[in-house]
Chains A and B, each alone.
Chain A
């Protein structure tokens, strides 16, 4: 078998005048959990749709498990599980009937299907709910059912497009527990997420902005590559502080984290003391400024912001 689960070469796709993906070169190794992160409309969904053969690329090529997606769409689809953002469950059917339906779509013999279905149901904790209609499931449970349906044919590669959107923390954790277990079953996962804490759980990340792959690396790599450093501080008038900090030279990003302000400053930028002094000079009250531990969220925000400014 192939060592690269996913490989794209110069993959390009436009919709009318909008360039959704511009020359994507991506390699995802077998057994990896690869995260696609980036702002809205960066091309994450387009990438997944191209990989699943739902869209035809304008240029370039894509391979799944060594098979060209355009030339061998049928074979690729057998190897592939795809959970789109809006998964088409059959609302009037029960959980069990939905699973059966998707198993039938992939022509899985009944004997094999029962075992696989039980396995997935117990892993997701849906075993007791097999008789419930899909439209009576909560958001979290619905996503779990969707995940089961996309795994029922034992795909080699699983594409998950923001599977935890609108899902509560408990269900989110359950979903991730399943995803974590997949590489052990020799399933490669390509997952997109808008959340930094989820990106942190991936083996490697690709940051897409405006259809261009900005950088690839482990979450640690991305944090280490950060040229700016984070400072946290408290301000009584958050809005005034925010505005003053945004204008301050050497400050790259300004974010509110809980009740604190978190900024990233360039190497040549101000340190905590200078920030406080500058704020004081602007008539803004602030305290407790200190260097903070760099985090992935800072890095992702900085990349998005830099590209946003370019565009």
Chain B
């Protein structure tokens, strides 16, 4: 591995306990420079806690983490200049305008005129903020706000960027734009760690880490994760729909059944007999009329559900 890219983030056995609750449990992974690394997992799985440790906001209980070659627990001061962070919570001052927010954060990073002005104008153009530059951010819609927040997080051109659910509640068009920008930043060499609940966004990451109850349960490229999914997928058009779903969900050979749009999507275990026939039988027994059965492509959502599945209830704290 002569030209393996350098590691931007190295996490080893990272653990965080809050009293007797283990939020992050011996997490280990490495993120390469310029990589877009996705963090997936149920609510409360420990994603935000991990990010906070990587930003130096929380001290790890155990294990260690290096970001840009700096120890997050000890070299916090130097770390701050290397990272940009966009917390899940609203991180802008609602009673300041977009540009005033930018000016404020620019000042905190020691930017001064004229480079301060140039940098802000650059970001206004790049994130298409011209229309809202003088507007109080408290009056902006979520999509705009998140764009301004991102601009604030990258005002000092950090080599490493942590984004915690940056597109939560953002509409598809803005999400596209947002992710295009993430892609561009990565192409310019910025390392991005991003959490999301949307599988279409996860697909755009180079690699994905799936976290559940503080533990790493899978780590690979989206393609490899999909390929590794156990069982085969079928999409079924049936009438009526809900009884069809119930019948399949309770069938012993079905690993997983869900509605996707107006079709039932099932994951079926590998077995000797014809799976299609088994599905038809189960639906016939429930007096459901089958319109069409076809093989389906595995999606990241299937992977997510197969890994996290119904354990979510038990794991959520």
Contacts and interface: CB of A to CB of B under 8 A. Distances in A.
Do A and B interact? yes
Interface of A: 38-41, 85, 125, 128-129, 136-141, 162, 165-173, 176-177, 180-181, 184, 194-197, 200-201, 219, 237-239, 242, 255-259, 297, 300-301, 304-305, 308
A301 B183 contact: no
Interface string B239-259: 001100000000000000011
Interface stretch (B56-64, B71-79, B154-162, B166-174): B166-174
Contacts of A194: 169-172
B28 interface: no
Given A140-B42, A166-B168, A201-B262, A39 B197 contact: no
Nearest to B181: A239
A140 B42 CA distance: 8
Interface stretch (B5-13, B98-106, B308-316): B308-316
B143 A39 contact: yes
Of A139, A162, A257, most B-chain CB atoms within 10 Å? A139
B257 to A, nearest CB: 10
Interface residues of B, number: 49
A168 B42 contact: yes
B199 interface: yes
A interface, over-half SS: helix
A170 B143 contact: no
Contact of B172 (A138, A238, A297): A297
B304 interface: yes
B43 interface: yes
Interface of B: 41-45, 88, 141-144, 165, 168-174, 176, 179-180, 183-184, 187, 197-200, 203-204, 222-223, 241-242, 258-262, 301, 304-305, 308-310, 312-313, 316-317
A125 to B, nearest CB: 5
A258 B204 contact: yes
A259 B204 contact: yes
Contacts of A139: 43-44
Contacts of B199: 169
A226 to B, nearest CB: 15
5 closest residue pairs by CB, A with B: A258-B203, A139-B43, A138-B44, A200-B261, A41-B141
Given A41-B141, A138-B43, A256-B176, A162 B169 contact: yes
A174 B309 CA distance: 11
26 contacts: A40-B142, A40-B143, A40-B144, A40-B171, A125-B313, A139-B44, A166-B43, A166-B88, A166-B165, A166-B168, A168-B304, A168-B312, A170-B42, A194-B171, A195-B172, A196-B172, A200-B261, A200-B262, A201-B260, A239-B184, A256-B183, A257-B203, A258-B200, A258-B203, A297-B172, A305-B173
Contacts of B301: 169
Contact of B222 (A39, A256, A258, A297): A258
